[in-house]
């Protein structure tokens, strides 16, 4: 007989419930409006490296040949930003999101994401959201039987280039693809076949192998924020150019014990730039043998109406629960993961 039981223990699910309750209390105390966003939409985030799941809606079940295509959302981003553009202020939600081809110890095709957007003084810059994110982690600390016990000192804020200089011996933002290939060879980093001169692909392999395992633990004195990513990896973040330095994405990620927990942006508000980036991501998708995703969306309409200055953060809630329970796989903190759902 097929085993019907959940893969997570009762203790893990109780810790998950306690973290959910404290998360809601944290944002309520700070006057972030909790909202619900659709899991199904005609719009979808366009990213060359994220594969959405598709489905069909039949408006008339007697006419099966007539249907509307819909995407299961990879993030609530588009809908939350539409709320911000409509004047609803700082918003957040805790929702199920879906991504194809993501199965592993820390990945599940269906997972839970906490996402929020800060608007107004003290909330609307990425540096504000670094502070909010650290405050959130401290508010959650102590939950469950295996609390993280965060250090009293502020979390380290380390730039992408400084992290490479510290842990790989060289900054990389001004290196060419050939330079990065040489660095991988020198550090005995195995590269996937076909990566060739894909500079961002090389950077992603190098950071995964040489940098991320060193972040958020003893080597950084506890949790660590990584910021100032390559401009080519801005996604929907703004790009900043400082005198005498290469341009960087105003983006940050939080690491704890080598695990990436969240991703934050100074949000792009220029619709023309968004159109350009969507086109660029679709070109990459086609180059990788993937279908292009819809270039038009209601988010573009919202940005043309006017998206105020804001900063957003997306946090992988399942990974957070893993850290608070000492789990090594998502299946230990999700009742019914892929394969037993």
Element housing 55 (H / E): strand 53-57
Q: What's the sign of the alpha-carbon dihedral 103, 45, 258, 207?
A: positive
pLDDT-based confidence at residue 146 (cuts at 50, 70, 90): low
In this prediction, residue 1 carries a pLDDT of 57
Where does residue 341 rank: exposed (0-12), middle (13-18), buried (19+ CB within 10 A)? exposed
Residue 121's pLDDT is what? 86
Whole-prediction pTM value? 0.95
Regarding beta strands 239-240 and 248-256, do their DSSP bridges make them parallel or antiparallel, or are they unpaired?
A: antiparallel
Domain 10-38+74-155+222-332 has CATH 3.40.50.1370: no
Task: Answer yes or no: is pLDDT of 65 > 90.
Answer: no
Residue-wise pLDDT tens digits, 25-41:
999 999 999 999 999 99
- In this prediction, residue 102 has a pLDDT band, given cuts at 50, 70 and 90, of confident
Report the percentage of the chain scoring pLDDT > 90. 87
Instruction: Please give the pLDDT value at position 28.
Output: 98
Res 277: pLDDT: 96
Q: Left if phi > 0, otherwise alpha if psi is -120 to 50, otherwise beta: which for 153?
A: beta
User: Tens digits of per-residue pLDDT, 251-269?
Assistant: 999 999 999 999 999 999 9
Pairing of β 239-240 and β 156-159: unpaired
Tens-place pLDDT, residues 162-200: 999 999 999 999 999 999 999 999 999 999 988 888 999
Whether residue 161 contacts residue 140, with contact meaning beta carbons closer than 8 Å, is answered with no
CB neighbour burial string for 297-321, b if at least 16 within 10 angstroms, e if fewer? bebbebbeeebeebbbbbbbbbbbb
Compute the distance between CA of residue 310 and CA of residue 129 in angstroms, rounded to an integer. 10
């Amino acid at each position: 007989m097929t085993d019907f039981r959940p893969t997570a223990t009762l203790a893990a699910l109780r810790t998950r419930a306690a973290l959910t309750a404290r998360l809601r209390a944290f944002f309520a105390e700070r006057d972030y409006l909790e909202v619900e966003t659709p899991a199904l939409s005609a719009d979808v985030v366009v990213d060359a490296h994220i594969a959405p799941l598709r489905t069909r809606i039949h408006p008339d079940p007697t006419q099966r040949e007539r249907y509307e295509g819909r995407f299961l959302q990879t993030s609530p981003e588009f809908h939350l930003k539409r709320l911000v553009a409509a004047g609803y202020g700082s918003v957040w939600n805790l929702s199920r999101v879906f991504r194809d081809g993501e199965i592993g110890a820390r990945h599940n095709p269906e997972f839970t994401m906490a996402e929020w957007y800060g608007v107004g003084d003290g909330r609307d810059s990425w540096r504000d959201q670094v502070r909010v994110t650290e405050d959130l982690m401290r508010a959650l600390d102590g939950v469950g039987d295996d609390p993280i016990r965060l250090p009293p000192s502020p979390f380290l804020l380390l730039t992408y280039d400084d992290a490479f200089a510290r842990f790989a011996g060289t900054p990389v933002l001004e290196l060419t693809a050939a330079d990065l290939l040489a660095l991988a060879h020198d550090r005995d980093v195995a590269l996937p076949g076909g990566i060739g001169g894909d500079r961002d692909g090389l950077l992603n392999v190098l950071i995964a192998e040489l940098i991320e395992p060193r972040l958020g633990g003893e080597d950084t004195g506890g949790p660590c924020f990584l910021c100032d990513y390559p401009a080519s990896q801005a996604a929907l973040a703004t790009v900043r150019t400082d005198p005498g330095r290469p341009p960087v994405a105003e983006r940050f990620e939080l690491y704890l014990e080598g695990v990436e927990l969240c991703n934050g942006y100074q949000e792009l508000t220029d619709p023309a730039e968004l159109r350009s980036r969507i086109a660029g991501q679709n070109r990459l998708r086609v180059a990788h043998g993937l279908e292009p995703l819809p270039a038009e969306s209601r988010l573009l309409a919202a940005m043309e109406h006017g998206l105020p200055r804001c900063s957003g953060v997306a946090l992988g809630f399942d990974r957070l629960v893993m850290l608070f329970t000492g789990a090594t796989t998502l299946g230990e903190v999700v009742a019914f993961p892929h394969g037993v759902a």
